[in-house]
Structures are given as C-alpha cells and as structure tokens.
Amino acid sequence: MKYRNLGNSGLRVSAVGLGCMGMSHAYGAAADKREMTELLAQAVDMGYNFFDTAEVYGTPESPHDNEELLGEALKPFRDKVLIATKFGLRFDMESGTVPYPLITDSRPAAIRNSVEGSLRRLQTDHVDLYWQHRVDANVPVEEVAGVMQDLMREGKILHEAFRKLPRRLYARLVPFAR
C-alpha cells in the first residue's frame, strides 16, 4: 500500500481509503456484520488506514449502523487507523414518504449532539476527520467552522472538512484554516 498526505492536513493516509457506507446503507440490505468486521480487519492488514463513515449511514431499524460497525471492528486497531465521519444530515422519518427525505442540520447544538453520539458509537475519544455532510442553507459556514474550532480545541476532532461546499463559500473559510 502506498501512502500520501491528505490535503494540507498533515494526515498521512493510505493512497486509497475505504468508504464504508455500502456496508450498512444505500446499497440494498445491510451486509453481514461479521463479514464486514472481518473485511475491515483485512483492510487494515492490507495497509488501508483511512476509513470513512457518517452519522447518517444506517437503516430505519439501526439508524447509525455504520458507525457502530466501525467502532467495534476498528477498536483493536484504533491507534493505527484514521476515522472520518460526518454530521449535518438526518432522515425525516416522520415524512411518510420512502425513501425518507434528508434534512440538513448544522446548527451548533445539533453538531455538538452529533459528535457526542459519533464518539460513543465509534468507541473513541476523537474523530480524525469530521466532515460537514452537506451545506445547511440556514447556518453560515463561519458558524459551523467556529464549532469545529471549539471541537478541535477540546480534542474531540482533529481535522475538519466540508463536503460539496460551493466554491464561493471557500473564501469565507480562509480565516479558519490553520
């Protein structure tokens, strides 16, 4: 496995990471947990050290299935791997339509709630890379970045990222970049 530096983060990651969403979500029925636990161990063995999940990757029966899977499966290797997870999206289970529509929510209180849940499910004291899953039109990016800074100061997350951020918003995040 080759390694490279991820963006400007200083994180040294396997050149190819592992997106774990499909193990629990979006691609039909969730895969067998034992199989996936085994697969994750094999991935570590092969040199993969970058694993991506999200709070929202789950099923109606197990809404955070993916983080729980990773928490359990990567526990023996926690100090050898980097875990990225995401906040800011949830399913509207009250909508009555299936598939459930997605709701964005990057309010500071919601982010704080999410990170606590993610840390607990991932069985770790820190998230290596914390992404905003989707831009929330109701919350300015500066406010989100502010919460990220706080979480970094508290040691709960090490790095932040924004997914699918429109270009015009990047400029506003420059003051927050280390």
Partner 1 sequence: MQKTMKHRNLGRLQVSAVGLGCMGMSHTYGATADKREMTELLAQSVDMGYDFFDTAESYGTQADPHDNENLVGQALKPFRNRVVIATKFDPATDFRSTMPQFASGSFEKNRPLFALINKFAAEHQATPAQVALAWMLSKKPWIVPIPGTRSLSRLKENAGAADVEFSADEVRAIDDALDGMEMSDVFSGLK
Interface residues toward partner 1, by CB under 8 A: 1-2, 4-8, 13-23, 26-29, 31-32, 35-36, 39, 42-43, 46-48, 50, 52, 59, 98-99, 164
**H runs (alpha helix) in 47-105:** 65-74
Minimum CB separation of residue 109 from partner 1 in Å reads 28
CA distance 56 to 96: 18
Catalytic residue among 3, 57, 130, 170: 57
Least Å from the CB of residue 164 to partner 1? 8
Which residues touch 109 (CB under 8 Å, ≥6 apart)? none
Decide if 3 is catalytic: no
> 46 Cβ partners below 8 Å, 6+ apart?
1
The residue among 28 and 155 lying less far from partner 1, judged by its C-beta, is 28
Whose Cβ is closer to partner 1: residue 42's or residue 108's?
42
How far apart CA 85 and CA 120 sit, in angstroms, is: 12
CB of 144 to partner 1, least distance (A): 21
Q: What are φ and ψ of residue 159, in 5° steps?
A: -145, 155
- Give the nearest distance from C-beta 102 to partner 1 in angstroms: 11
> Would you say 42 or 95 has its CB closer to partner 1?
42
* Strand pairing category for 127-132 and 157-162: parallel
Tokens of 15: 């050149």
Write out the catalytic residue numbers: 57
